Amino acid sequence: MSITSLDDFREKAIIDIAEKMILAAKTAPKGRGIERLHYLLLTGTEILDVSDKMNAISLKHQVTFFARDAGNLAKTVALVLIGSSIEPRNVPLCKHCGFGCDKKPETTPCAISQVDLGIAVGSAVSIAGQFHIDNRIMYSAGIAALELGLFPENIKIAYGIPLSASEKNIFFDR
């Protein structure tokens, strides 16, 4: 028999759940069955790099919630990042982005790819919910990750999902 305390496995358990979240996002339905998403899992000092970048963005643009989110992020064990490219899917008659795929401006995101991103993020947080792990979808963390160049160059839109397991959800009542 052995005795194990929460401190012995908490970090490993959170990372295990983060991995399951990414698998859920990966297997979420994709328009035309085409994968246009990219998935990352950050731990350790890489999370602090994103937090620092969020603070810098907050100062530069006077957007205070980036600093608030950065403070929350600095207290987490794992950060799931999911990003999307914006290339067209060439879906006949779609025009959900406001254009046809053949006329879509290069900087206009493909609407179907963004729906795929939303479904994948929703699938990921559903896993976090099943395990009762505290999480928050952060647009701010996605922006910082993009600015840090963590994603491949074709990924233009991203969200971060930090994870925490404590007696009080750090992402609410802030």
User: Considering the domain boundaries, does residue 81 fall inside one?
Assistant: yes
Residue 32 pLDDT: 86
Structural domain contains residue 10: no
90 Cβ contact list (under 8 Å, min separation 6) = 101, 102
Does any domain span residue 8?
Answer: no
Question: Taking 80 as the threshold, does the pLDDT of residue 174 lie above it?
Answer: no
Q: How far is CA 164 from the centre of its chain?
A: 14
Q: Which domain holds residue 95?
A: 21-163
Does the predicted TM-score (pTM) go above 0.85? yes
Instruction: Specify the pairing of strand 37-43 against strand 155-164.
Output: unpaired
> Which CATH number fits the domain that encloses residue 159?
3.40.109.10
DSSP H stretches of helix in 63-110:
64-73
Q: Is the pLDDT of residue 90 over 90?
A: no
Q: What is the pLDDT of residues 38-89, one digit of tens each?
A: 999 999 999 999 999 999 999 999 999 999 999 999 999 999 999 999 998 8
Based on the structure, what is the number of domains in the chain? Answer: 1
Rg over CA atoms, the chain: 17
